[in-house]
């Protein structure tokens, strides 16, 4: 999904609209000569969540970052001044500065593909079908209401349009028993 997005959007190496978070933790304990472990790890594929209440649009001084009528949160690259306020405001780090272009860029949900009746390129390319796309009410009915697990922020801040089908090892948002195992990749 990450590489399909980079290829489809022709992104530079320093910009990734979709990122894979590895959250891991646990340790080994000895009990009377027997070792036990509680080690865990899981992965989250995250991009822009096209939030109901996007923080990025509220702080954009030029109006470049905006929510379309179809629900996609996008940046008008012609209007963006590259101040990076949107990146600082977004709890998911979705808006990213593209130094080559001199302004902000972000996942646009592949709205052009969606308008043609296709799924976003990340969803279409996922060989394990871990990603899905559709009206959020249908996705919540199909997969549940969970919208945040560690290391993501609490969902009530921006009301992200995301549904997470949790891994058996998933930890709640705010968990301190684990850590982001791949910080340089995200």
Number of helices and strands (H, E) in the chain?
A: 6, 9
| Residue 28 pLDDT | 92
- pLDDT, mean over the chain: 96
Cβ atoms of residues 182 and 19 within 8 Å: no
Say whether 12 sits in a helix, a strand or coil. coil
As a whole number, mean pLDDT of residues 92-103 equals: 95
The 10s digit of each residue's pLDDT in 34-65 is 999 999 999 999 999 999 999 999 999 999 99
Identify whether the C-beta of residue 178 lies closer than 8 Å to the C-beta of residue 150: yes
Which tokens go with 110?
A: 């592949």
pLDDT, tens digit, 9 for 90 and up, residues 128-144: 999 999 999 999 999 99
Nearest-angstrom CA–CA distance, 126 and 45: 10
**Over the stretch 54-96, which tens digit does the pLDDT of each residue have?**
999 999 999 999 999 999 999 999 999 999 999 999 999 999 9
How many of the other CB atoms lie within 10 Å of CB of 39? 10
Domains of the chain: 2-180 (3.30.70.20)
Residue pointed to by tokens 């609209």: 17
At residue 99, the pLDDT reads 92
Please report where in the chains the tokens 């304990």 appear, as a residue.
29
**Token output for 185:** 């990749």
Distance (Å, whole) CA 105 – CA 80: 9
Give pLDDT, residue 108: 98
- For the residues 116-131, what does the mean pLDDT come to? 97
Give residue 20's pLDDT. Answer: 96
Q: What pLDDT, on the 0 to 100 scale, is given for residue 93?
A: 95
Q: Where does the pLDDT of residue 109 fall: very low under 50, low under 70, confident under 90, or very high at 90 and above?
A: very high
- Give the pLDDT mean for 176-183: 96
């Amino acid at each position: 999904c990450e590489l399909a997005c980079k290829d489809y959007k022709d992104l530079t190496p320093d910009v990734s609209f979709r990122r894979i978070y590895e959250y891991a933790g646990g340790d080994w304990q000895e009990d009377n000569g027997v070792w036990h472990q509680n080690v865990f790890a899981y992965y989250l594929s995250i991009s822009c969540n096209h939030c109901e209440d996007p923080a990025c649009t509220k702080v954009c001084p030029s109006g470049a970052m905006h929510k379309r009528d179809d629900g996609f949160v996008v940046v008008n690259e012609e209007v963006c001044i590259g101040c990076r306020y949107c990146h600082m405001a977004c709890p998911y780090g979705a808006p990213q500065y593209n130094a080559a272009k001199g302004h902000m860029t972000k996942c646009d949900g592949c709205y052009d593909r969606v308008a043609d009746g296709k799924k976003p390129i990340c969803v279409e390319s996922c060989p394990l079908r871990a990603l899905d796309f559709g009206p959020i009410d249908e996705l919540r009915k199909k997969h549940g209401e969970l919208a945040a697990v560690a290391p993501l922020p609490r969902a009530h801040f921006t009301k992200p349009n995301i549904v997470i089908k949790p891994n058996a090892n998933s930890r709640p948002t705010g968990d301190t028993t684990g850590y982001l195992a791949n910080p340089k990749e995200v």
